[in-house]
């Protein structure tokens, strides 16, 4: 369906001339990319209560980790700042994220940078996680799954809220929200402002986030219009280089060396007696503004939706490089070989486009078709503001400069047919046949010189970029769903394709033994699922088998900006079973659990990393990097009166950084428990005050949620390098929210 009725209650508004109007207010949302129980898709809807509990200041991945097969990672150690997710072992670049049907993944890197849209969770009305290929959507292909979000519903009544949070490591949040209510029988205005700050668990891992959201809604019978703008600015200290186990033993788990430089009178002393200090502006700075105009219109059986969008982004790194090789910077006039410098890496992007969908219902079948077009442009460049020992006249221009454009268009048609309806509708049974096919066209261009310095026999030069690739993908999906009062069974097969990322093109030289381009990926996703539901108990099992051709798997290496370096592998698969169960033991206690048991393998893996100790060898069947074989969660939800408590324990199995199962390059299994307490107090004036306390890592488990590593040969010796992102021991975040 194109429009979801999120507020279906008859609401009354009073106009200025004292006439009362019975207004049925609906939320304007494009849900042609939303899945329902009659679709043969494995999915999870996140409850409104879960969103409220997670809105104290942490990023959205915190609440996503409550769903099956999902893992959240964080660089600063407390769930704020540089956070990311993995689903069924696939990283964030392969998880399609949309808001109101608009793709949020960066078209260039394919990643969703959650801290670039701070406190998005407070502006979201609903979140759905689709596992596997899912249904037709916009943006890059979904190879692990999709996260579909809608912005919060506009209220027909005047309301607002004020929220304050404070906790460990000086973590704090201030937020204000106000909504006008229905004005003149047609209009609603809504706005939010938020600030989130934290010192971070990791040393100097400070975060300073500011965000806004403004919405204007018009409801006019068959036509509904919503204009919204959201975004903000993010300033985070660069912590993406991680820390080695050796340095953790030397200096503690909070240590990292980003921005560190040697100085004779530095206040900090390393183990070998070297005096160092830290550049205090070693930061990632980013401004992102997202604008959407959503229009829906009903014409008889048809529901039509059009969404226009424009996103603007501008950001830069400030980085201190200690004892850098000056030949890597071609804009310098000097004979010096090495020196300290401060560099800036900048980008400015524009993304605009339109989504169109239409849905019709005809007795026992539904028809949905739609499409999307977007155009993206982004120049990248770098400058130097200071080089030790050089005058400004010796530092000129940009040390790299390149441009990117990307055109992305798709069209899809979806048909659903209920075999048992209408003749047997009164029996409460439905048997839906499902077919969905999408055509997607991508034209990606990148040109100029990159920030990678190439050392050759003829000297040093900046890496040239010359990419001009066009892709045509056909993505069909077929399935069947049976539903009755207590049972739901699904079976589906889907084909998905995906183009490489910018880094897959530009950084391939760092590990590849040839000058070839990365290949596109193809996946065949087969799903079988069954769910039983009753008022007291629900349980489900979902089997998946994801077969890949030319899957781009992480090598364990990263580039200078912490983007994973990926290599194509010919044949690989992910297969597993997802189990869910929930038991309403009493009116005040619900116990639930989910578990994923999986195998994630590369068939006949040939190590093609040129500096690897096993270069050229066929290593047989190997485990895919960053793919735990076990993920499990136990959740206890206690609620009585105004008091609530949620206990969440998650276990994540061992993960390898590389694809040749090296113990020294792995992430240990971990089990962590979080506790969330809340109490809601309603006043006589119908106001509500909610008190909340999040207790994270209740048992102070020493664990790392992410890392990277690689092997190489140097002068006949093998070296294994691994770096980790430690998470904070027990920490607290308290919140008070007043709703009026």
| 27: in domain | yes
Strands (E), 199-301: 207-220, 223-237, 260-262, 268-269, 275-278, 283-299
| 731: in domain | yes
| 166: in domain | yes
Q: Give the other-Cβ count within 10 Å of 470's Cβ.
A: 11
Q: Provide the whole-model pTM.
A: 0.92
C-alpha distances out from residue 619 to 375, 606, 654, Å = 42, 6, 20
Which residues are within 8 A (CB) of 276 and not within 5 positions of it... i.e. 6 or more apart? 260, 261, 262, 263, 266, 268, 269, 270
Alpha-carbon distance of 630 to 291, in angstroms, equals 40
| 3: in domain | no
- Asked whether 95 and 128 are in contact (CB, 8 A), the reply is no
For residue 205, the model assigns a pLDDT of 95
Domain span holding position 447: 10-739
For residue 140, the model assigns a pLDDT of 80
Give backbone dihedrals phi and psi of 16, rounded to 5 degrees, phi first. -65, -25
C-alpha distances out from residue 418 to 37, 191, 212, 421, Å = 13, 42, 44, 5
Q: Give the other-Cβ count within 10 Å of 348's Cβ.
A: 15
For residue 1, the model assigns a pLDDT of 35
For residue 426, the model assigns a pLDDT of 53
Is the preceding peptide bond at 422 cis, omega within 30 degrees of 0? yes
For residue 186, the model assigns a pLDDT of 92
Place of tokens 């998470």: 727
Q: Which of 471, 372, 365, 364 is nearest to 422 (CA)?
A: 364
Alpha-carbon distance of 125 to 404, in angstroms, equals 34
CATH number at residue 264: 2.40.170.20
Q: Which of 660, 655, 657 is nearest to 709 (CA)?
A: 657
The CA-based angle 651-35-33, given to 5 degrees, is: 110
| 4: in domain | no
Strands (E), 587-716: 589-602, 622-623, 630-640, 643-652, 655-656, 666-667, 670-682, 688-696, 704-714
| 5: in domain | no
For residue 686, the model assigns a pLDDT of 66
Residue ranges in the chain modelled with pLDDT below 50: 1-26, 28, 30, 424
For residue 7, the model assigns a pLDDT of 33
Domain tally for the chain?
1
| 549: in domain | yes
For residue 136, the model assigns a pLDDT of 83
| 308: in domain | yes
């Amino acid at each position: 369906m194109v429009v979801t009725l999120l507020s279906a209650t008859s609401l009354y508004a009073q106009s200025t001339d004292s006439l009362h109007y019975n207004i049925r207010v609906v939320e304007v949302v494009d849900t042609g990319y939303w899945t329902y129980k009659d679709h043969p898709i494995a999915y999870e809807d996140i409850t409104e209560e879960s969103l409220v509990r997670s809105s104290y200041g942490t990023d959205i991945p915190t609440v996503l980790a409550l769903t099956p097969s999902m893992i959240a990672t964080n660089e600063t150690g407390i769930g704020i700042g540089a956070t990311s997710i993995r689903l069924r072992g696939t990283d964030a670049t392969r998880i399609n994220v949309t808001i109101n049907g608009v793709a949020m993944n960066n078209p260039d890197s394919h990643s969703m940078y959650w801290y670039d849209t701070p406190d998005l969770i407070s502006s979201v009305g609903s979140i759905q996680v689709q596992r596997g290929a899912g249904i037709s959507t916009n943006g890059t292909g979904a190879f692990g799954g999709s996260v579909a979000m809608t912005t919060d519903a506009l209220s027909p009544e005047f309301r607002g809220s004020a929220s304050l949070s404070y906790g460990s490591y000086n973590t704090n949040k201030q937020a204000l929200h106000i909504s006008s209510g229905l004005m003149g029988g047609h209009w609603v205005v809504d706005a939010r402002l938020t600030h989130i700050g934290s010192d971070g668990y990791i040393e100097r891992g400070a975060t300073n986030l500011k965000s806004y959201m403004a919405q204007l809604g018009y409801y006019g019978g068959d036509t509904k219009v919503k204009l919204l703008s959201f975004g903000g600015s993010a300033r985070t200290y660069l912590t993406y280089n991680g820390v080695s186990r050796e340095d953790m033993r030397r200096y503690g788990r909070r240590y990292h060396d980003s921005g560190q430089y040697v100085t004779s009178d530095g206040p900090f002393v390393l183990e070998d007696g070297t005096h160092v200090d830290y550049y205090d502006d070693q930061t990632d700075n980013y401004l992102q503004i997202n604008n959407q105009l959503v229009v829906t219109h009903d014409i008889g059986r048809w529901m039509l939706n059009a969404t226009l969008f424009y996103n603007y982004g501008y950001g830069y790194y400030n980085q201190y490089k200690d004892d850098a090789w000056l030949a890597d910077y071609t804009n310098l006039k000097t004979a010096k070989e090495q020196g300290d410098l401060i560099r800036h890496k900048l980008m400015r992007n524009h993304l605009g486009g339109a989504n169109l969908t239409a849905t019709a219902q005809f007795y026992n079948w539904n028809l949905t078709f739609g499409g999307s077009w977007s155009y993206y442009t982004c120049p990248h460049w770098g400058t130097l503001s200071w080089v030790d020992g050089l005058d400004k006249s010796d530092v000129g221009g940009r040390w790299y400069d390149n441009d990117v454009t990307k055109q992305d268009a798709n069209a899809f048609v979806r048909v659903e047919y209920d075999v048992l309806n209408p003749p047997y509708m009164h029996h409460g049974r439905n048997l839906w046949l499902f077919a969905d096919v999408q055509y997607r066209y991508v034209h990606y261009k990148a040109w100029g010189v990159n920030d990678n310095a190439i050392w050759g026999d003829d000297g040093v030069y900046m890496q040239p970029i010359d990419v001009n690739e066009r892709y045509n993908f056909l993505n069909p999906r077929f399935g069947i769903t049976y539903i009755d009062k207590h049972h739901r069974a699904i079976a589906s097969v889907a084909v998905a394709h995906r183009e490489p990322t910018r880094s897959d093109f530009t950084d391939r030289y760092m590990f590849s033994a040839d000058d070839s381009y990365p290949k596109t990926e193809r996946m065949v996703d087969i799903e079988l699922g069954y769910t039983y539901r009753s008022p007291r108990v629900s349980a489900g099992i979902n089997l998946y088998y994801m077969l890949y051709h030319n899957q781009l798997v992480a090598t364990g290496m990263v580039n200078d900006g912490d983007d994973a370096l990926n290599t194509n592998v010919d044949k690989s698969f992910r297969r597993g079973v997802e189990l869910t169960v929930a038991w309403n033991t009493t009116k005040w206690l619900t116990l639930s659990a989910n578990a994923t048991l999986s195998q994630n393998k590369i068939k006949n893996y040939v190590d093609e990393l040129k500096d690897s100790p096993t270069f050229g060898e066929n290593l047989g069947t190997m485990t895919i990097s960053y793919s735990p074989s076990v993920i499990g969660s136990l959740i206890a939800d206690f609620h009585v009166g105004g008091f609530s408590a949620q206990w969440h324990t998650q276990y994540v199995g061992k993960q390898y950084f590389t694809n040749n199962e090296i113990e020294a390059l792995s992430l240990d299994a971990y089990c962590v428990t979080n506790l969330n307490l809340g109490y809601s107090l309603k006043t006589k004036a119908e106001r509500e005050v909610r008190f909340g306390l999040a207790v994270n890592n209740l048992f102070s488990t020493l664990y790392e949620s992410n890392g990277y590593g690689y092997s190489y040969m140097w002068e006949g010796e093998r070296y294994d390098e691994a770096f980790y992102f430690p998470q904070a021991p027990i920490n607290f975040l308290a919140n008070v929210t007043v709703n009026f």
